[in-house]
């Protein structure tokens, strides 16, 4: 299994969605979930791995800074972000805009050049001044987050083994039927159970890795086109 959960992008993100201008920035949340593959752009946690965790809209150039007030509903300034990163980032903005330091984001920076996930210890390794600033401000290596990443990877390894075992059981079941050692009725009943377990296991993997597709975006709302 090629596990890319928690990994930072190796290229800049080019926005693919072009929603119309809304009056409330919160309306963009579903678009941003699709835009950034249902993953917090800063800590790389998928929203599906912890459904009760609050995800929302982050204003990269903070809405709390007066000179950025006009960007409050500018889609290019909005990012998908977990509640923890959003609250820690808050209204942070450098006094010296030329030198920073800046929090890195996936549209303006190649994030893997600034931060790297180490699957061996569950930590985010800093690779630049901006990466260090991002890690420190957002507490990316907080004990709870590191533990969560490590247990998630462990769960994925166990789940991958379980999935392989279930697929092997399906093959054995087919062989038993071919060798006339079980009836078609028994085969079909056990195959149905195995397929149900495989589907649940696949769903678990998708939830842990954030690869489960989000619900489709609505094209209309109250008779008005949304994009």
pLDDT in tens, 108-117: 999 999 999 9
| Both tokens assigned to 64 | 């709390």
Q: Diameter of the chain by CA atoms?
A: 77
DSSP type of residue 25: G
H/E element, 118: strand 115-118
pLDDT score of 133 = 98
In order of 85, 109, 118, 143, 203, the CA distances from 41 in angstroms are 9, 11, 17, 20, 23
pLDDT score of 169 = 97
pLDDT score of 32 = 97
* Residues lower than pLDDT 70 in the chain: 1-3, 52, 220-227
pLDDT score of 201 = 96
Contact present, 167 and 198 (Cβ < 8 Å): yes
In 3D space, the residue among 82, 76, 89 whose CA is nearest the CA of residue 51 turns out to be 82
pLDDT score of 129 = 97
H/E element, 207: helix 184-209
Provide CB contacts within 8 A for 15, sequence distance 6+: 35, 75, 76, 107
User: Cα 176 from chain centroid?
Assistant: 41
Neighbours of 55 (CB within 10 A): 22
| Both tokens assigned to 203 | 């769903």
Total residue length of the chain: 227
Provide CB contacts within 8 A for 73, sequence distance 6+: 21, 22, 23, 24, 25, 28
Q: With the C-alpha atoms ordered 31, 75, 227, 21, is the resulting torsion angle positive or negative?
A: positive
Domain boundaries along the sequence of the chain: 1-227
């Amino acid at each position: 299994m090629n596990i890319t959960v928690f990994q930072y992008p190796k290229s800049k993100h080019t926005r693919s969605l072009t929603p119309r201008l809304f009056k409330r920035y919160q309306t963009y949340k579903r678009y941003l979930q699709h835009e950034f593959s249902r993953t917090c752009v800063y800590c790389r946690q998928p929203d599906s791995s912890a459904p009760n965790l609050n995800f929302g809209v982050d204003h990269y150039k903070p809405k709390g800074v007066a000179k950025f007030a006009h960007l409050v509903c500018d889609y290019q300034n909005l990012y998908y972000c977990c509640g923890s990163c959003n609250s820690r980032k808050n209204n942070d903005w450098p006094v010296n805009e030329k030198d920073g330091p800046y929090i890195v984001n996936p549209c303006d920076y190649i994030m893997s050049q600034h931060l790297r996930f180490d699957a061996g210890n569950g930590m985010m390794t800093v690779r630049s001044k901006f990466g260090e600033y991002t890690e420190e401000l957002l507490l990316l290596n907080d004990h709870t987050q590191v533990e969560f990443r490590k247990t998630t990877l462990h769960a994925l390894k166990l789940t991958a083994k379980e999935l392989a075992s279930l697929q092997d059981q399906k093959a054995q079941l087919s062989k038993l039927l071919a060798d006339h050692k079980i009836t078609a009725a028994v085969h079909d009943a056990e195959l149905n159970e195995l397929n149900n377990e495989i589907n649940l296991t696949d769903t678990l993997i998708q939830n842990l890795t954030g690869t489960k597709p989000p619900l489709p975006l609505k094209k209309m709302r109250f008779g008005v086109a949304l994009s």
